[in-house]
Amino acid sequence: MPGPALCRRVLSRQSYGITGISFFRRDSRFPLDNARTRCYVPEITTSKSHIRGDCIMWIGISAGIAAAFFQDCGYVCSRLYVKKQNHTSWNLLLYTQILMGGVSLLLLPFLWDAQALSGAAFILPLLLSAGGSVFGQFFFFRSEKHIEPARISSMMALRVVLLAVISALFLGERYDWMQIAGIILAPLSAFVINWENGRIRLGGMQWLGAALLFYCVSDLSVKYMIDGIHTDNIFHSSLLALCFVNILLGAAALPFMRGKWKLHEITGTVPFASSWLLKQFFLYSCYALIGPVHGNVILTIRGPLAIVITLILLKLHVQDLDSAAGAKIWIRRSIATILMVAAILLYTFH
């Protein structure tokens, strides 16, 4: 388990009377930690002792697993949408951003904190996060026309390598050998899943590569954006960051909607928009608690989750999800799952 030396930020527990939900309050004396931070020391006083900082790490990991689940649900919903006749990835992107922006606009008055937004440090990361997210989604939708949900979800594990390289080259991050092993095993699992008849299937990979690059820009920007929003607790900051990003992207999408308001297409995007909004909240919370690199190692679990979700939906006779899988494919997927779990364990318990 991570030692106390890695536990940087002090968080304290605070109960909010309106919702009755307890949050962990961030102490402004401690800056947002970098991507290698594993856990934080919570200042949660009980009658006998303080709760260990490890529990915060596990909250971050749980948030990452929840983000992976809703992301996989979003993959399935988006594939079902774009596979239908006359439904394009561009329309899905526009309708989704407007729906998410509308929901965020409704939430914003309940989350508003003028003091938290007194500075301008969050503005540039906000723009980078929003831009990286929207371009990442656009290229991701393009790749979905060529790659099945279970495969594309697994290939997203390559994201952690890009994040680690960028963090090491430009942000001064350093990783020990166990962390490096975990970072290597994560994309290796994607390589195993996509190996077919002695070769890698490259159809749609150029779009997926572009999506990964823009998602990395968004991921790294999220950390700095939340750091620049000084609320009493990290989940409040995550929700505010989510609202700002979605409102900005929703407003940017409106000019492209001239003559494209089709009710049946808008309602068709609701499942994807709902899944993506939930994914976004858990993802932001995960990055804020354990950092984007560790968070993306945890997100490799989306590969096995995508396979399970696809199997369940195929049993329910849902079409246009995945190609037929034989025994060799299932063997590869099982090996890939073992590699993913090993990557998570190595990086988390280094």
Residues 189, 333: Cα–Cα separation, whole Å: 8
CB 321 within 8 A of CB 267: no
Return the structure tokens found at 199: 């070769």
CB 285 within 8 A of CB 238: yes
Q: Alpha helices of the chain — where are they, by DSSP H?
A: 54-83, 89-111, 123-144, 149-155, 159-170, 177-194, 205-227, 234-253, 263-268, 270-290, 292-298, 302-315, 327-348
Return the structure tokens found at 226: 């939340």
Per-residue model confidence as pLDDT tens for the chain (350 residues): 444 333 433 343 333 322 333 333 444 433 334 433 333 333 333 322 333 457 888 899 999 999 999 988 888 888 777 776 556 777 888 888 899 999 999 999 998 887 877 777 888 999 999 999 888 878 887 887 777 665 676 677 778 888 888 888 887 778 888 888 888 887 777 677 666 544 556 667 888 888 889 989 998 899 889 988 888 888 889 999 999 999 999 999 888 887 667 777 788 889 999 999 999 999 999 998 888 888 888 887 877 787 788 778 777 766 655 555 566 777 777 787 788 778 878 887 76
Neighbours of 77 (CB within 10 A): 22
| Cα–Cα nearest to 74, from 30, 126, 133 | 133
User: How many structural domains does the chain have?
Assistant: 1
Return the structure tokens found at 349: 């318990």
Return the structure tokens found at 172: 């001064």
Q: What are the residues whose beta carbons fall under 8 Å from the beta carbon of 24, sequence distance 6 or more?
A: 11, 12, 13, 14, 42, 44, 56, 59, 233, 234, 235
DSSP annotation of 114: T
Q: Can you give the residue range of the structural domain that contains 227?
A: 4-348
Query: Phi/psi of residue 232, each to 5°?
Result: -75, -20
Residues 133, 214: Cα–Cα separation, whole Å: 7
Residues 14, 24: Cα–Cα separation, whole Å: 6
Q: How far apart are the first and last CA of the chain?
A: 7
Residues 101, 248: Cα–Cα separation, whole Å: 7
What would the DSSP string read from start to end of 279-316? HHHHHHHHHHHH-HHHHHHHGGGHHHHHHHHHHHHHHT
pTM of the model: 0.74
Residues 81, 86: Cα–Cα separation, whole Å: 10
Return the structure tokens found at 304: 């096995």
Neighbours of 283 (CB within 10 A): 27
Return the structure tokens found at 301: 């679990």
